Structure 1
Amino acid sequence: MGLLENFKMAKESIVSNKLRSFLTMLGIIIGISSVIAILSLGAGGKASITGELEKIGSSSAQIKVDTQEASKGDYFTLKDVDYLKEKGENIKYASASASRQSTIRYKDKGKRAYMTGSNEDMKYVQNSEILYGRFFNEKEVEDGKNVIVIDDITASYLFGYKDAVDETITLGKDANIKKFKIVGVTKSASYMGGSFNDQMPAMVNVPITALRNMYDDLSIDNIYIVSNSKETTDDAINESLNILSAKHNNRGEDLYSGEKLLKQVDQVNKIIDIFTSFIGAVAAISLVVGGIGVMNIMLVSVTERTREIGIRKAIGATTNAILIQFLTESVIISLIGGLIGMILGIMGAYAIGSYADVTPVLSLRDIILVILFSSSVGIFFGIYPARKAAKLDPIDALRYE
């Protein structure tokens, strides 16, 4: 019997038992749709995060203190930043950086905030788009002015509109609460988007001197630099390490280290890949369950069609022909379930993506893998029922009622 004939018989069997065939496919549909949705959203989220991080630029780098080994005198100072810009031939911009978690409030609205204290050069490091107003200037840093730059998502959440320049908010917790005037609103580096943003902490920038006025124990453990060009970033890092080590008299102690900010993109990508693979593997378990469902239903089908198998064998059908017939049926059911699952998975991914402001990414490779995997499930879990059908004794099969 040819492949086309096997296909026709499998099709007739599936069509004549629509409900049973659908229930057989259901596990495959759920498994494939889950895997597709997770993979495409993971790839989309990865592309979004990578795109935002790469905006920082290939000429930016971070110089940091080993906080486990450093003593008080090893931490950076604002004078160190000025010294770097003065002595560093490959350093175009430099900004001190220290962070604190707090709460940002306007009237009865508030949310968690991640405050970055820096100087005026931080705008070149972050490379953020200023939508309204401006970044704080050198004079405001020198004077420790309570001015703040917030992102547009935080502005919309607190005020209901993005142009919040000249509005006043409060920062801090408990007794340590200060008023800050908004001087600028930046475009948010949104990684998730949608309503998820309301749950994310506000990312705000304040003069590092103002942050120090709030926290007496504030230590500067990072300096961000921007080199003259991406080709000189490594030179700028080495230059910074040498200058700072010499200034703090800790040569050879390896208290300071530096890395390109784009290197962090690779680290983030690895984390996303691991997370997506783990969640995808959990979702793939449902494919195993679906495959077991295919096997069980095919075993029922073999039992129901025992007499049919006996008749076919009696008129000359070989064991191999029976095996291929039932195996073809199992593969077709799995393939149809896989294709339906892929369509539903894509639809689900775009539905979730529109809610989370993430564009799903599905590659041709993923589509081919879905087709191959669905076929493999059909073959693997269909082989036992098919062998059982093929090995039936024709005489016993004809006696079956």
Structure 2
Amino acid sequence: MKANFKMALDSIFANKMRSFLTMLGIIIGITAVIAILAVGNGATSQITGTFNDLGASTISLSVSDKAIKADYITKADLQTMKDSIQKLDYISPDARLAGTITSDFSDKSVIAYGGTTDLQFTNQTMKNNLVYGRYFNQNEYDDAKNVAVISEDGATVLFNGRKDVVGEKINISYRGTALSLKIIGVTASSQESTVGFFDAENMPVFIATPLTTLETLNPELGNLDSVTVKVSSKDDIDSVSKQMVRLLETRHEKVGDDLYSATNFLQSLDQIDSVLGLFINFIAAVAAIALVVGGIGVMNIMLVSVTERTREIGTRKALGATTNTILFQFLMESVILSLIGGIIGLVLGILLANGVASALDIVPSITPGAVILVLLFSSAVGIFFGIYPARKAAKLDPIEALRYE
């Protein structure tokens, strides 16, 4: 085996340019497959990871389009669910409106969120950690106080770069109605979670205020058709979801009407992940066609090599080399060619993946399993496309081979 390995290497390095051109198809194929898988899987992990953090223990409770006004979720329903369902940590409406916000220094578009005191933890756009001030309390919610919490980046835009704007006044305008609010808290910047949805220059300001206060601008917001719920753990999602739906059906006397549904974002996330994986694998499979082309190139060059070395084969057979020895010699040469091409392609693929990932600001995902699979696949290409030339060499008649010119 050692002798065959050395002979195979000698043959490859004796024709360096020809060997490199033979490997080129495999190199290109492996490079493309590795780069696509690494960047694709890295992007998928980043996307699903981000949304997983946002919605791992979040439930969206909604009312069907078939519902009438009496079927909508009420504020009393919210309190009853929170008091009676264990492992339900936070619950708040998804009420919002888009209008204009003005300060003494600037005016911008605004998205105002209205909810209960739990809005601090259920709002999927604004961060829940406060950098200045506080969140509105139950008394301010019950009394519909004109108070608001603003995001840090919104404060910077409205107040000439200042972030600590607790105590400042802002005005919200919606369909000709204005509302003056006092800022009592500032949350961490919300732009990180909304970049991609808005152009930076046109980014709206985000504020949170008691739903009872926001209803003065739009009374229809009190007809709650959806609420967001946070549970203690994602393992509690199913049980809490069933309890909420059952409670609403009982309170509104709509048992069996399928008017209420509770969904978790992770359910949709699994489908997204599956579709992304299928798409990435399809693109990688298309790129892998280059490997087939490379394999054909290996077979072609091995057939040429057999023809060129016919007299050598005859001499070796005349000196006692068995058919299996000749077969193994040429098969090993084919495998080594493919394996070297695979290793080069692997290195180039990793470099390309890191370059593309760096440009896209993501972390490429290259697993040891993928590396092993690439090397095994390269060897398999060498074996598959090297069998025919090797068998042809092994079956040469030694007498005829010695007469070959």
Alignment TM-score, normalising by the size of structure 1: 0.73
1:274 corresponds in structure 2 to 278
Cα gap change, 1:50/1:118 in structure 2, threshold over 3 Å: closer, same or farther? farther
- Tell me the equivalent position of 1:308: 312
**Counterpart for residue 326 of structure 2:** 322
Residue from 72, 85, 91 that aligns with 2:82:
85
- Aligned residue in 1 for 2:29: 31
Task: Please tell me the root mean square deviation across aligned C-alpha atoms, in Å.
Answer: 5.0
Match of 2:346 in 1: 342
Name the counterpart of 1:356. Answer: 360
Evaluate the alpha carbon distance shift between residue 64 and residue 395 of structure 1 in structure 2; reply closer, same or farther with a 3 A threshold: farther
Paired amino acid for 2:37: L
Change (3 A) 1:276 1:131: farther
* 2:25 and 2:290 in contact (8 A); partners too: yes
CA spacing shift, 1:187–1:34, aligned 2, 3 Å: farther
- SS of 1:94's partner is strand
Post-superposition offset of 1:58: 5.2
| SS, match of residue 186 in structure 1 | coil
**Which amino acid is 1:85 matched to?**
K
Q: 1:32 is matched by which residue type in structure 2?
A: I
Q: 1:13 to 1:118 in 2, by over 3 A?
A: farther
Instruction: Single out whichever of 318-327 and 389-398 deviates more from structure 2.
Output: 389-398
5+ long unaligned stretches in structure 2: 100-107, 173-180
Q: Secondary structure at 1:44's aligned position in 2?
A: helix
2:208, 2:253 → 1: CA distance? 30
After superposition, residues 147-226 of structure 1 pair within 5 angstroms as: 149=151, 184-186=187-189, 221-226=225-230
Give the 3-state SS of the residue equivalent to 1:55 in structure 2. helix
- Distance 1:292-1:117 versus aligned 2 partners, 3 A rule: farther
The structure 1 residue matched to 2:93, chosen from 96, 108, 113, is: 96
The letter of the residue matching 1:354 is: S
Cα distance in 2 for partners of 1:275, 1:162 equals 44
Over 3 Å counting, the alpha-carbon distance change for 1:230 and 1:190 in structure 2 is closer
Partner amino acid for 2:19?
S
Structure 1 residue 261, shift from structure 2 partner = 4.4
| Residues 77 and 248, structure 2, Cα contact 8 Å, conserved in 1 | yes
The CA deviation at 1:93 is 1.4
2:59 corresponds to which residue? Answer: 61
Cα deviation for residue 9 of structure 1 reads 0.9
Distance 1:384 1:148, change over 3 A: farther
Using structure 2 for the length normalisation, give the TM-score: 0.73
Q: After TM superposition, give the deviation of residue 34 of structure 1 in Å.
A: 2.0
**Contact residue 322 and residue 390 of structure 1 kept, 8 A:** yes
Residues 98, 219 of structure 1: 8 Å contact kept: no
Counterpart residue number, 2:335: 331
Alignment partner, residue 383 of structure 1: 387
Contact 2:82 2:89 in 1 (8 A): yes
Matched, 1:48 2:46: yes
Match of 2:104 in 1: none
Q: Deviations over 1:203-234 (max 9, x none)?
A: 96766786996998998543211235666544
Residues 310 and 348 of structure 1: CA distance in aligned 2, closer, same or farther (over 3 Å):
same
- Alignment match, 2:175: none
CA contact (8 A) 1:134 1:185 kept: no
The 10-residue stretch of structure 1 (129-138 or 303-312) with the greater mean CA deviation from structure 2: 129-138
Question: Match of 1:64, SS?
Answer: strand
Q: Report the residue type matching 2:292 in the other structure.
A: V
Contact 1:136 / 1:148 at 8 angstroms: preserved in 2? no
Q: Distance in 1 between matches of 2:401 and 2:161?
A: 76
The correspondence for 2:262, drawn from 223, 243, 258, is 258
Residue range with higher mean Cα deviation, 228-237 or 88-97: 228-237
Alpha-carbon distance change, 354 to 313 in structure 1, aligned in 2, over 3 angstroms: same
Q: CA deviation at 1:258?
A: 1.9
Whole-angstrom CA distance in 2 between matches of 1:339 and 1:289: 17
Q: How many residues align?
A: 388
Structure 2: which amino acid aligns with 1:283?
A
Judged with a 3 Å threshold, the aligned counterparts in structure 2 of structure 1 residues 291 and 243 are, in CA distance, closer, same or farther, namely same
Distance apart, 1:333 and its partner CA? 0.8
Shift in Å, 1:10? 0.9
In structure 1, the partner of 2:241 is 237
CA contact (8 A) 2:85 2:243 kept: yes
**By how many angstroms is 1:291 displaced?**
1.5
Q: Give me the whole-angstrom Cα distance separating, in 1, the residues matched to 2:332 and 2:15.
A: 16
| AA of the residue aligned to 1:186 | S
Of the three residues 4, 7, 29, the one matched with 2:5 is 7
1:121 aligned partner? 118
1:172-216, CA deviations, whole angstroms, 9 ceiling, x for partnerless residues?
A: xxxxxxxx999544366679x9xx898899796766786996998
Pair 1:366 & 2:370 matched: yes
